[in-house]
A and B are shown apart, each in its own frame.
Chain A
Amino acid sequence: MKKMLLLHPNDTVATAMENIMENDAVSVFDMAGLIYQQLIALEQIDEGHKIALQDIEQGQLIRKYGYVIGCASQDILKGQSVHTHNLESLRGRGDLQ
């Protein structure tokens, strides 16, 4: 069972504490060290990268540390990797002006 870390109960993503391969079973631990959720990784997730803990629709806000870290730029399935390909910053976007 691979280990992931949930930083805040309101978060929609967790952080991989080791390299995770497609179809790996994953345990998400909370900050108290208790298992919060178990799921299957739908794709490879490198150590330090994020996994979606629920289905996230395009445009929906994504939370880590209990706060918004950006919004989904495409639909994301529970168990998929969340990174620059599907999560966009909402700040400093002069390119959208």
Chain B
Amino acid sequence: MNLKLFARENGTFGIRNRIAVLSTVACANHVAELIANSCELADAYTHPYGCDQLGPDLVLSFDMLYKMGIHPNVGAVVVVGLGCEEIDAKTLGEKISESGKPVLSLVIQEVGGTTKTKETGATFCKEMAAKLICQPRVDAPFSALTVGLECGGSDYTSGIASNPAIGVACGMIIREGAKAVFGETTELMGAEDILDELCELPETAEFIRNKILKVEQIALDMKVDLRGSQPSPGNIDGGLTTIEEKSLGGICKAGKEPIVDGLEFGQSVTKPGLSFMDTPGNDLAASLGICAGGAQVILFSTGRGTPMGFAAAPMIKITANQHVATVMSENIDVDLTSIIQGQISVEQGGQLLFDHLIRVCQGEEVVAEKLGHREFSLYRISPILT
């Protein structure tokens, strides 16, 4: 199967043609937002970090902003910095431009304040938008696609209907030659035996087990009961009692697909098939890692309802909870309550997801996009020291 996608100079293909306005530091956030708000195709990538960061934490922030810049769904980039932070806007801009994308780096202290920087950025966005709008979609192989699999705000319906349907869609995606990736390490605790069976290589199974143990060890070292946040109060209201139960429902997203690779946070997904990535359970952080890995689209199941989107990739919201499908219908793309009601099978639900995914990849907006949900966050791996 071929798809109609946007070809990038570095050989990747996007399902969207957006302008990323990357803020390198909290002090540049407002200017980045002003620039993004001036142009319909532009998204602000803002966050509270970029300053007072050291070592691997600083490297990760730089690398994540870089990977958002080179993301296949991004056709042009504006980098906005203040001028005194560790993440240098020009260095970041130059590195992104090696991908062949048009990049404008702006340093507020050099350009001369909020208004001038905003105007310079807005002019660039206007020029870029005129070009991006004219760029045609071209034939692209299905293998150009990487699909992220996530769940958030889980309840009992997630593990019975939505996640198993994602698992079916995951199999279909992979049989067509694409890549898929899931993360949320904390929410695999208790599902190790299933993961062992799914992993193609014992090394991958060991990699995942070690990542889960690392998270569990943090709770043990802090002498806290993980139950304070896992499952969350919303999960518990929705019928999930323990992290093991939540994890066993979550892993249904993998379906019966062999896991072919284990990746660090934000590492590029390279192998066809299903990969695991070590990410937090936090939906924004997980989305950052998965999109940094190259996912152009995310299948996202929710039992309790969540409106969140992500700046770099459309999130397809799926629920099988009838209350959420009714009360939060504007936040749901695919309603799978008919699986719970016994009207369609999990396999038929998976087919619905696959069909919807194809339409979204070829331009159909997801509800989060329509509502302007284009959230972003960086993920810090060490405490603020200075």
Contact = CB atoms under 8 A, between A and B. Distances in A.
Given A5-B160, A94-B220, A70 B226 contact: no
Nearest to B321: A48
Contact of A91 (B160, B222, B239, B244): B244
B175 interface: no
Nearest to A49: B239
Interface stretch (A20-28, A36-44, A82-90): A82-90
A48 B241 contact: no
Contact of A95 (B189, B190, B225, B241): B225
A91 B241 contact: no
B248 interface: yes
Interface in A20-75: 33, 46-50, 64-65, 67-70
B157 to A, nearest CB: 7
Interface residues of A, number: 31
Interface size class of B (residues with CB under 8 A): 20 to 34
Majority SS at the chain B contact face: helix
B154 to A, nearest CB: 11
Given A65-B248, A83-B239, 14 more contacts: A67-B193, A67-B244, A67-B248, A68-B244, A69-B241, A69-B242, A89-B244, A90-B244, A91-B243, A92-B215, A93-B226, A94-B222, A95-B224, A95-B225
26 contacts: A5-B160, A7-B159, A15-B160, A15-B239, A17-B340, A46-B239, A48-B239, A49-B156, A64-B245, A67-B191, A69-B190, A69-B248, A70-B242, A70-B245, A83-B241, A88-B242, A89-B241, A90-B244, A91-B189, A91-B190, A92-B215, A92-B243, A93-B227, A94-B226, A95-B225, A97-B220
